[in-house]
Chains A and B, each alone.
Chain A
Amino acid sequence: MGRHTAASSRLGRSTGIFTGTRTLLTVALHQDRTKIAPWVGLISVLSATSILAYRWIFPELADRKTLAMAIGTNPAMQLVFGPPRDLLTNDGFNAWRAGALGAFFAGLMAIIIVVRNTRADEDSGRAELIASGVITREARLLVAVLMATVAAVALAVVCFMLTWVSGGEARPTAVLSLTFAASALMYAGVAAVAAQLGSDARTASSIAIAILGVSYVARGYLDSTGAEEWTRWLTPLGWLEQTYPATQNTLWPLIPAVLLAIGLVALALVLQRRRDFGLGLIPARPGPATAPGLRLGGLAVQVHRGSVITWMIGLAFLGLVYGNLVTSVGDVFASNPAMGAIIASGAATPEGLSFGFVATVLHLVGIVTAIMGAQILMRVYAEETDDRVEPVLATATSRPAYLGSNVLIAVASTALGMLAAGTVMGVVAATSDAGIAFGDVVRQAIVTIPAVWVLVGVSVATVGAEPSRRIAGWLVIVATFGITLLGPTFKLPDWMLGISPLYHVPNVQAASPAWVSLAGLGAVACVLYAVGFTGFRRRDIH
């Protein structure tokens, strides 16, 4: 025993459960910082832009009152964003628009960080290397949680600074930023427990994200049905609402949030001691022993099914939210020409304005759908670098057939996604008295599809021909997003707006819709796909 202690003290300064934690944390943070930064940035931008947009779109008190009325009477908006406490001030608007969503995304960020640094590392075998070092059993889990904590703190600081600089008041902005950090801490705890339960990274993140989703929907349901105040304590995201940023600015509800986080991490540490390395407490279900009919198409479906189904649900939900937005914001437009100008320039009547808004919203849906398409193509490249393409191409499978089976999934699921979002949006819009026909919304969604295919085409071309340039697949989506959303605001010239494929989508309500531009989009898409397929035939496969 004495020799053991001597050896231990020779190996490290401390023999507590933190041995090795610091070294590992430094390395892991260095590895992950570029993956964490976008989350921190996006959530902070979400908050800062509401401050900026609010003053610009609703300069007068009258506009703000209209907005408050439109939103206050729309349960669907509360389902997504939470209850509007005060839409007459800048910070109150921010607390409403960014509060619930920001907390959701902060939680998601924490889950991804924790699962990536625990389960995913065990799956890949990297954790084994780490675990064999001078490091305690607990260190890897602690490092993952500490990384999420660092991310939470960074989020609070960056979000506060950015929002404050954009014109938010210090106190409400601080409270709001702290709720984001608290959400990240709580769901880091949830993910730490989930990582002990699931038998692999995918199961672990599914469990944690499902819990986050349920808390979010429960909060939305309670908010939109006007349930009694105490019921908000039933979901952790409801606790964060109890801080009332911009109205009461109370911080004490964050205390139970932090306590919950600590409790969950403690539970995870106990559970980790009871499970075997590389296994979860929930054993994985066995699969079928045979698959006599499984071929290329079945493989592509198998590979992409999970994420496509999730996207479809998300897109339908997006349709629901935007459908409600269209109906309730129609009134706001009528009394706010500035907003109308941003959203749908050139429309003369309130109905025309609303439909112009429908078209613009469908552009945004198109961008979200294109992200799904690009993600499917990026997955194809990930399959290649994971050595799973090589054995397939070593069979009597041609390269075009392999790429084609995946591109088909991307093309079909983007079309279906647009259709799903458009149908839900059309149903919601048509049931209100905004004067928007169901058929028009669905038709508008359909004519948006070719533009989405062009956006996805850039990913097809790069992944197919030159994967080292595949970042272009994302850049084109970001650029299109920027042009679509900010272009009209900054009054960019037409040729610049025309870079965005969405700019060429005809409006189906126009007197003579520009159908010919659809053919143009189709042609561009064909060229991009041809580049991808030709390149994929010629290049080395790794």
Chain B
Amino acid sequence: MTAAKKVIAIEGLVKRFGSFTALDGVDLDVHRGEVHGFLGPNGAGKSTTIRVLLGLLRADGGHVALLGADPWKDVIALHRRLAYVPGDVSLWPGLSGGQAIDLLGNLRGGLDRRRRDRLIERFELDPTKRGRQYSKGNRQKVAIVAALASDAELLILDEPTSGLDPLMEAVFQDEIAAVKDEGRTVLLSSHILTEVEALADRVSIIRQGRISQTGTLAELRAQTRVTVSAWLAHPPADLATLPVLLDPHLDSHGRLTATVEPDQVNAAMAALVPHEMSQLTVSPASLEDLFLRNYTAHHDGTDSQRAS
């Protein structure tokens, strides 16, 4: 991957607040034209990373390149090329939503008025309400419209859809898909897994100030165990005789559930055949499994999540 294709290139980023280390060596690459899902539990360092990218926080260590420049030094030039949606939008009490959209657009160097009006309509936003009268979801819409109405080549979205209803969530996904079709790049931090699944080309998962996994969804799935479930006519007396099955569980009706390393599916089937399987399901890890596995503290191979 050449540097020119990297819109965001972070290496070993460290950020401390007093004695607390918020970011402890983050590595993150976002390629041009992709929607990059940025996931992690609360307090893992997503917003801190984004604030470093925006030049709001100064890095204590590591290298950060945004569009090939330094986000701390080249603030103005970079910010002309990006748009940002915070996760918790706070609007000016005296300004209407329409005024806030125009203000942010003007400060970025102008916005596309036709696109702005179209987005206001699509998101069913009343632009004449004053800041404090908007609900959480509507404040979020104001920031989304302001960001999408720009022609910025990079969108940095920090939990942009928190508080949006499912209908608006669909509109949002539609608009981000359009942004992607135009070849623009999106860094999307989110807790809504279906949103990430629908939009993201690649995903990075951050935990306790470090990136724990990164790759396409298919790549991440390939690293995650497959769930196997079947009825056994002749269940084994001791499950330990089937070492290929991990975390196996057998209920009193002979129903077996277990997980299997992705490259051991065939071996597992072979091992189970003598026990006469019926109603067999073999499912790849769901996104939820993927994230739960990464979010939990016991990420050491014992896979405690599967016990449930």
Residues of B within 8 A of A202 (CB): 93
A294 to B94, CA, bound (A): 13
Q: Which of A495-542 contact B (CB under 8 A)?
A: 538-542
B127 within 8 A of A: yes
Residues of A within 8 A of B180 (CB): none
One of B102-110, B232-240, B284-292 contacting the partner? B102-110
What is the size category of the interface that chain A forms with chain B?
Answer: 35 or more
Contact between B90 and A302, CB atoms less than 8 A apart: no
Q: Which of B61-99 contact A (CB under 8 A)?
A: 75-77, 79-80, 82-84, 86, 88-96, 98-99
B102: min CB distance to chain A, Å: 4
B79, B98, B103, B127: most-surrounded residue (chain A CB, <10 A): B103
Contact between B108 and A396, CB atoms less than 8 A apart: yes
Residues of B within 8 A of A541 (CB): 51, 56-57
A390 to B54, CA, bound (A): 9
Residues of A within 8 A of B104 (CB): 391-392, 395
Q: Which of A294-340 contact B (CB under 8 A)?
A: 294-296, 298-299, 302-303, 306
User: Within the complex, which residue of A123, A199, A298, A540 is in contact with B103, where a contact is CB–CB below 8 Å?
Assistant: A298
One of B129-137, B223-231, B250-258 contacting the partner? B129-137
Contact between A393 and B143, CB atoms less than 8 A apart: no
Chain A 266-310 interface mask (CB, 8 Å, partner B; 1/0): 000000000000000000101111111111101100110010000
> Contacts A200-B93, A390-B86, A391-B84 known; A287 to B107 CB distance under 8 Å?
no
Residues of B within 8 A of A539 (CB): 58
Contact between B79 and A199, CB atoms less than 8 A apart: no
A396 to B84, CA, bound (A): 11
Contact between B88 and A540, CB atoms less than 8 A apart: no
Chain B 265-277 interface mask (CB, 8 Å, partner A; 1/0): 0000000000000
A386 within 8 A of B: yes
Residues of B within 8 A of A27 (CB): none
Contact between A289 and B96, CB atoms less than 8 A apart: yes
B55, B82, B93: most-surrounded residue (chain A CB, <10 A): B93
B200: min CB distance to chain A, Å: 22
A33 within 8 A of B: no
From A283, which residue of chain B is reached at the shortest CB distance? Answer: B133
User: Within the complex, which residue of A123, A286, A388, A542 is in contact with B92, where a contact is CB–CB below 8 Å?
Assistant: A388
A114: min CB distance to chain B, Å: 19
From B56, which residue of chain A is reached at the shortest CB distance? Answer: A541
B308 within 8 A of A: no
Residues of B within 8 A of A388 (CB): 90-92
Contact between A396 and B90, CB atoms less than 8 A apart: no
A351 within 8 A of B: no
A345 within 8 A of B: no
A293, A393, A394, A539: most-surrounded residue (chain B CB, <10 A): A394
A8 within 8 A of B: no
Contact between B127 and A289, CB atoms less than 8 A apart: yes
A217 to B106, CA, bound (A): 44
A60 within 8 A of B: no
Residues of A within 8 A of B79 (CB): 394-397
A387 within 8 A of B: yes
A395 to B84, CA, bound (A): 8
A398 within 8 A of B: yes
User: Within the complex, which residue of B75, B76, B80, B106 is in contact with A294, where a contact is CB–CB below 8 Å?
Assistant: B106
Residues of B within 8 A of A395 (CB): 79, 104, 107-109
Residues of B within 8 A of A290 (CB): 98-99, 102, 127
Contact between B80 and A289, CB atoms less than 8 A apart: no
User: Within the complex, which residue of B83, B89, B90, B98 is in contact with A291, where a contact is CB–CB below 8 Å?
Assistant: B98
A209 to B307, CA, bound (A): 63
A100 to B118, CA, bound (A): 57
B302 within 8 A of A: no
Other than the given A200-B133, A293-B106, A390-B54, 4 more pairs (CB < 8 A) read A302-B92, A394-B79, A396-B79, A539-B58
The 7 closest A-B CB pairs, nearest first, are A287-B96, A286-B128, A395-B107, A291-B99, A394-B84, A289-B98, A387-B90
Residues of B within 8 A of A (CB): 51, 54-58, 75-77, 79-80, 82-84, 86, 88-96, 98-99, 102-104, 106-109, 113, 126-130, 132-133, 143, 156
Residues of A within 8 A of B (CB): 123, 199-200, 202, 284, 286-296, 298-299, 302-303, 306, 386-388, 390-399, 538-542
- What are 25 A-B pairs at a CB distance below 8 A? A286-B129, A287-B128, A289-B98, A289-B127, A289-B128, A290-B102, A292-B113, A296-B107, A298-B103, A299-B92, A299-B103, A387-B89, A387-B90, A390-B51, A391-B104, A393-B56, A394-B79, A394-B86, A395-B79, A396-B76, A396-B77, A397-B79, A398-B76, A399-B75, A540-B56
